Structure 1
Amino acid sequence: MAHLFQVDRVRLLCSCGVLKPITAIYFCRHCLKLRCGNCVSHEVDTLFCPNCLENMPSTEARLKKNRCANCFDCPSCCHTLSTRATSIQAPSPEDPSKTVARKVYYLACTSCRWTSRDVGLKDQTVATGGWAEQDNEHYKELQTLLEHYRSLAQREKLEKERKRFSHRKSSYFSMTDKYSLPSLIGRKSLSPLSPYSPKGDGSQTSELTPSEAVEEVEGLPADIFTEEVNLSSITSMEQRMASPEWQPEKSSDLYPLHKHILVKRSLRCRHCEHNLSKPEYNPSSVKFKIQLGAFYHVPEVRMVQQADLKWGVETSVQISLCNPTPHDMTLAFLPFVPEAHIAAQQKGEELGEGGSLNTSSLVRVVDIPVEKTDLTPTADVALPQGQLILTARDDTAEYDDQDANSSFNDDPQVVAWRRANKVGVNLLVTPQSGAKRAIVGFVLRYEYTNTVATATESRTVTLNIPVMVDVGPVSE
């Protein structure tokens, strides 16, 4: 029965028009809408090394090219390298004629057995490292190109600012108020590395020499067609792309790679700019300061029981509804109309009647383009009439021997079972002719109790969530 609990079989329709499972979607308590990964802003919260868990400021990470200075990856299999200790015989500093045991350290890979000794790196006397870096012969040329394009970007920025204020005459004092005097002097004295000046008179000179195409190229070595190829000594494409500065061709030229820095992301709603997910600052912590996943605010729908589906035959299937909130919830099923939902999303509206919170704290509204999603059901479903009540989530309910569900007057043809904050519902599904899988759609209307910190009291609003359920394969 494990295949019935796959989250991909039940998907919710996001406000941007994309179907996502409940585990990959967020719920904004300020907009009262679903947000997926495509309609949220991704922000870098903290940068850290995944091996030593050391935090790193963004400026320092930019200078170090987003790599850790103390941790290394294996250039052969990209596994994390570990520091190994060994003893060697070395001359005694007191008496050179005698030898003493001396502890040294080297890097080794526990996966492919690669070591730093394979490329001739000297062993270190301390475990913290100090390994010799590989020099890049094109370093000066790359730095010259970076400075050149940095100056071009600064010149374009000045041109845009000059055009912005050229249509109106500004006095000297207004310019000094907007830009300080040292800033104006610095911008006037800027000399970009370009063969053309901003005025176009070519007064500025450039240290760059343009590349020229040549007809003759270096020939191949004479033994390339006669020497036997040893594939174990040649690097793979993944190994070469892991070192884009050098791109070694032989395995003997592989050097340890500084480990890439990872980031902790915070997600922000594009519509109201409130945080939907914000992790802890400590890299070793897996907790979140803010985690507005839909799993904690939207009723969860799961497939529980299904039967053999055939074309045109009405079959009873069973789904479960779970209330994740600490408040009672009233549910109702509404028919799903794909054309109406697409038209409403193109206008930026919500179907049905629903309350909304005060949006006076909005900074700006960003229009989110609607993506094309297949919303065509392949089966007809007979939805239960009336309303269902889901009790609040209570972690101690499973240890309670009293039957608290006897007070509900449920229709036995609709409600199959009821346990704590979960309820099983029977649906009658009729697959359409020619369909390979039965996909049904309905709108889940429920009452949500909002408990945001800005609200003076709890407010209950009615929300509509379109749901698409993959019931299962269909046979003739």
Structure 2
Amino acid sequence: MAHLFQGHRIRLLCSCGLLKSITAIYFCRHCLKLRCSNCVSHEVDTLFCPNCLENMPSTEARLKKNRCANCFDCPSCGHTLSTRATSIQTPSPEDPSKTVARKVYYLACTSCRWTTRDVGLKDQTVATGGWVEQDNEHYKHLQSLLEHYRSVAQHEKLEREKKRFSHRKSSYLSLSDKYSLPSTLGRKTLTSLSPFAHKGDVSQSSEMTPLTATSEVEGLPEDIFTEEVVLSSVTTMEQRLSSPEWQPERTADLYPLHKHILVKRSLRCRHCEHNLSKPEYNPSSIKFKIQLGAFYHVPEVRMVHQVELKSGVESNVQLSLCNPTPHDMTVALLPFVPEASDITLQKAGEDSVEGSSLSTSGLVRVVEIPAEKTDLFPTADVALPQGQLILAARDDTAEYDDQESSPSYKDDPQVVAWRRANKVGVDLLVTPKPDAAYGRVGFVLRYDYTNTVATASESRTVTLNIPVMVDVGPITQS
């Protein structure tokens, strides 16, 4: 059976009020809430080069501007450059009249065939590199700006903590140890930035003179209107922005770009501060120490068949519910009614998650929804199946078992369309509203979740409510 699973069609309502697909959302097993990338804390675990997989400390990465020193990207297409070897004939050091073969190396792109020879870079005698770096003519000016704004930041930090200082004058060593001021600023800067400095002291920040606007601009070259433009020799906007220090205008000025460093992130719940995702330290490993994706804890909803919706005509939409947990799960579909007074979703009794009764007005915490956000308002009426459904526990061997090994359930044929292993198909009757261009229905997925981290001795079953929005498809006017 071919399932229609598209992330933008089946979305869950996060605790922060945003609609996300089940693959882009996390489930905290401690506070029993859905967390998306906007409501978690992002922490950097490791920094590494995606090409050579070399680990790099944060201080070293900061000095290298978050780029790898040994790997390069193609300045033309952005593909990774590979080292190629070739042989050239050079005069023999013993007998200049004779030539000997010498191996040299250059960088080449396997995608667009760009090489370092195209810009006149000399071939290297070793494969490790040593390529000539392009000099930035504005380097000294940029460094002076960095030192200036660093001193301004330190001055603002000292002003914020002025009340914490004692009335006695602090020494140079105490200030340098506390705020880690660079040695380039010197004692004069520390004295001028101190909150106890006299008004007549002059800070280093005052040495920078601000630039003034001028009405005179540099004129265009004389041959700009007469010379024929060769598009192959002019760089694109992407190629210029990939080198912000130089922004070359000609393809002959493109130089290899040091490859950007990637990071492995850990995600932490902001409410209970428990880890939701933590990767392995080894850059070559794709495994996770902790991976609390909602895909492993929340029933997955899929569309089974694509239907054609007509305005005012009732259509049958079949959904499948899948249990990803190793425990039996009781599921119920309840109507979803957003508050129309102030366009907010309110949660009554947020501290209690074990309530036996479900209220559609108590779904998530108070979240203000912008007026232009219309995804939370259904554009079609839906008739949900009554009663509860029992989803069998996940069994990885059931997919390879030819015989039906799932236990028998007394299912209502008007509610359950089909059942297979840990999946159940249900039918929804959808009636699009007049003057609606796209069919969108919403319901509350209520299920019993077996919390394995509730207590150390035994598991505890809690009842959770997850609002779900389903984009059924476009509506044709009848």
Secondary structure of the residue that 2:88 maps to in structure 1? strand
CA contact (8 A) 2:3 2:305 kept: no
**Residues 8-407 of structure 1 aligned to structure 2 (within 5 Å):** 8-162=8-162, 164-165=163-164, 170=166, 183=177, 190-192=187-189, 199-204=198-203, 207-212=207-212, 218-305=218-305, 307-339=307-339, 345-346=345-346, 350=350, 354=354, 370-372=368-370, 373-374=373-374, 375-400=376-401, 403-405=404-406, 407=408
CA contact (8 A) 1:327 1:391 kept: yes
CA contact (8 A) 2:175 2:190 kept: no
CA 355–43 in structure 1, closer or farther in 2 if over 3 Å, else same = farther
Identity score, percent: 76
Q: How far apart are the structure 2 equivalents of 1:381 and 1:186?
A: 63
Residue 425 (structure 1) aligned with residue 426 (structure 2):
yes
Q: What whole-Å deviation, never above 9, does each CA across 1:388-428 have from its counterpart, x for those lacking one?
A: 11110011123445544563111111111111111111222
TM-score (norm 1): 0.86
Aligned length: 459
CA 283–228 in structure 1, closer or farther in 2 if over 3 Å, else same = same
CA contact (8 A) 1:316 1:427 kept: yes
Q: Which amino acid in the other structure matches residue 29 of structure 1?
A: R
CA 349–251 in structure 1, closer or farther in 2 if over 3 Å, else same = farther
Q: How far apart are the structure 1 equivalents of 2:84 and 2:150?
A: 43
CA 102–392 in structure 1, closer or farther in 2 if over 3 Å, else same = same
CA 165–238 in structure 1, closer or farther in 2 if over 3 Å, else same = same
Q: Which amino acid in the other structure matches residue 303 of structure 2?
A: M
The residue aligned with 1:362 is: none
Q: What whole-Å deviation, never above 9, does each CA across 1:254-288 have from its counterpart, x for those lacking one?
A: 11111111112221112112111111111121111
Q: What whole-Å deviation, never above 9, does each CA across 1:166-203 have from its counterpart, x for those lacking one?
A: 7xxx5879x99xx9697479989743399998543243
CA 301–67 in structure 1, closer or farther in 2 if over 3 Å, else same = same
Q: Which amino acid in the other structure matches residue 466 of structure 1?
A: P
List gaps (5 residues or longer) in structure 2: 357-364
The residue aligned with 2:444 is: 443
Q: How far apart are the structure 2 equivalents of 1:342 and 1:324?
A: 36
Q: How far apart are the structure 2 equivalents of 1:25 and 1:184?
A: 40
CA 209–182 in structure 1, closer or farther in 2 if over 3 Å, else same = closer
TM-score (norm 2): 0.86
CA 91–194 in structure 1, closer or farther in 2 if over 3 Å, else same = farther
Q: Which amino acid in the other structure matches residue 154 of structure 1?
A: Q
The residue aligned with 2:361 is: none
Q: How far apart are the structure 2 equivalents of 1:138 and 1:276?
A: 44
CA 87–418 in structure 1, closer or farther in 2 if over 3 Å, else same = same
The residue aligned with 1:464 is: 465
Q: Which amino acid in the other structure matches residue 446 of structure 1?
A: Y
CA contact (8 A) 1:30 1:272 kept: yes
Q: How far apart are the structure 2 equivalents of 1:389 and 1:402?
A: 21
Q: Which amino acid in the other structure matches residue 75 of structure 1?
A: P
